[in-house]
Amino acid sequence: MRNLNVRKKLMKLAMINTFTLVGLSSEKVYASDNEVIDIFEFEGIRDIVVAKENEVAIMSGPDTSSNLVGILEPGDHLKLITDNENYYEVLYRGKLAYVHKNAVDVSTMDEEIEKNAKSYDTVVARNRLNIKKQPTEDSETVGVLRKKESLITLGKSDGYYEVLYNDENCYVLDNEVDFRKSFDKLGYTKEDADIYDANGNKIADIKKEQTVRIYNEKETDDKYYFENEDITGYINKDDVSLFEDIYSITDISDQVTEVYKDNELLLSTAVVTGKPPKHSTPTGIFYIGDEPNEITDHRDLVGATYRSYVEYMMTFEGKRKIGYHSSERGYDDRGKYFGWRDSDEYGEETYKTNGSHACVNLPNAAATKMYNIFKPYVVDQGNKVKVLIKE
């Protein structure tokens, strides 16, 4: 069992190192009054310094008489530029700075990613919000996070969370999201189950097919310790089935779908599910890969009253041909225009008045990403994707 205090933070540069450097080739950053740095030249660097057990002073120069420009928290990282006698030259907020060699360890991004935890801290949007290129109000908006969508977070500083968005380090305001800490295992209840406190006293119950975020540090021989948004406690291991490999979870109440691989969040997207009560999306455990041709592309969906072309379809309920599919107005990868939903329709209350015929409608970018995750796993490797649809 791993220690919860050691958390995996994908490609973590910490909040104090803000540059993924994609698309920044034209930017210049001043390290001092007379020095200009083209930060693009540091794009391929994988060597880092990692603060040991204490806070580390980040200095403007390689000596104690230089100015203090920042603090590196224990376990946090900075890109290593070069060796400078008793100091390492590092990249800090786009500028060259220095940390003492005795205070840090040298590693690589790949080693840090490999040795740390399997899941990540995430943030969940309370409402629709803008994703910023830099942690400032006037920074360029690079995307939008819809209500209840999640992103992996790499840290927090100065009123912003640093997040991973389209493989780039970006930022969202901390007062517009809820923090969700990483977990060791994710499972779901097989049936209605009891919840206990540390002394074995029943404190609540939980319904069938609800997710539980499990933490190893308090696990006992017969019980898992879990923390959900609304309840925390212990649950009998026999009452829980653990997710493994690649799986997806769709929450009808929140109108969001998440896809995981080995408990790492790969995709979080707002959706539109079936319009209740006649066309409600069925709840329960399903599988993509039970039948042939459950992952298809560039095809028509045909019903009694409709024929709709979609770019990607991933069926999880074969009898009624219900699944995940693209639905947003736009062009597919062959240049064909299709779709019937605007980008702002996904999530929240749309499903109650303009829901689907039971399928889970996805924005096109999300459908493409899901297809690219599921197809190799199911079609090429012969596996099945477990799907949980819950109220």
pLDDT score of 256: 98
**Nearest of 240, 242, 245 to residue 260 by alpha carbon:** 245
Can you spell out the DSSP letters for 283-323?
PEEEEETSSTT-EEEEEEEE-SS-EEEEEEEEEEETTTTEE
Q: Residue 188's beta-bridge partner residues?
A: 211, 241
Q: Give 182's DSSP letter.
A: -
pLDDT score of 77: 80
Confirm whether pTM is higher than 0.85.
no
Q: Domains of the chain by range and CATH?
A: 28-115 (2.30.30.40), 122-180 (2.30.30.40), 185-242 (2.30.30.40), 246-390 (2.40.440.10)
Amino acid in the structure at residue 283:
T
Report CA 84 to chain centroid distance, whole Å: 37
Q: Are 261 and 378 in contact (CB under 8 A)?
A: no
Q: Residue 233's beta-bridge partner residues?
A: 226
For strands 122-125 and 177-180, give the pairing. Answer: antiparallel
Amino acid in the structure at residue 195:
I
pLDDT score of 102: 94
**Below-70 pLDDT ranges, the chain:** 1-46, 94, 109-119
Angstrom CA distances, 222 to 225, 237, 240, stand at 10, 6, 11
